Structure 1
Amino acid sequence: MGSFSIWHWLIVLLVVVMIFGTKKLRNMGSDLGGAVKGFKDGMKDGTTTADAPAASSAPAAQVTGQPANSDKSTIDVEARQKS
């Protein structure tokens, strides 16, 4: 009971190729690669394309004016309750 030998893996690979065919395996490989690349790009950007338009269309009327001596990294907003 140890790990499989190279001959076991070659037989499994041959059976998989016979079942699915090389074209379908190539398509699945390219789809998987595209999904991994999209995931990495999404993790690097921090946002998805669906979130980007929603974040940029935030109404500017809710942001109140800041005094001239305040810290520019904070934004003061007024919260309202829904009725």
Structure 2
Amino acid sequence: MGGLSIWHWLIVLVIVVLVFGTKRLGSVGKDLGEAVKGFKKGMQDDDDDKKPSPQLRDGSRDESSTTSQRDDERTPR
């Protein structure tokens, strides 16, 4: 008896349709669909931005490795 049966959900659905109307519910559904679509597109664009950068081939070091070596070379005070 703790759960809601299908009849409870149908009654709630009928009340919501009567209160808000089908036109407003349709526009809410459309807005929600567009929001989900935009979110998915944003997530896909974010994944494209995280592509690895090409590695240096000429033997030169990037700044992050140079910085970490400088930190190691410091003498404690």
TM-score by length of 1: 0.57
Structure with the larger RCO, 1 or 2 (CA within 8 Å, 6+ apart)? 1
In structure 1, C-alpha distance between the alignment counterparts of 2:60 and 2:33, rounded to whole Å: 48
Q: Which has the higher helix share?
A: 2
Query: Runs of 5+ in structure 1 lacking a partner?
Result: 48-67, 77-83
Partner residue in 1 for 2:4: 4
TM-score by length of 2: 0.61
Count of matched residue pairs: 55
In structure 2, C-alpha distance between the alignment counterparts of 1:36 and 1:19, rounded to whole Å: 25
Query: Runs of 5+ in structure 2 lacking a partner?
Result: 48-57, 64-77
Alignment of 1:1-83 (within 5 A): 1-46=1-46, 69-70=59-60, 74=62, 76=63
In structure 2, C-alpha distance between the alignment counterparts of 1:39 and 1:45, rounded to whole Å: 10
Structure 1 residue runs of 4+, over 2 Å off?
68-71
Partner residue in 2 for 1:57: none
**Superposed CA offset, 1:9-42 (max 9, x none):** 0000000000000000000001000001100100
One-letter identity of the residue aligned with 1:11: I
* Larger-Rg structure: 2
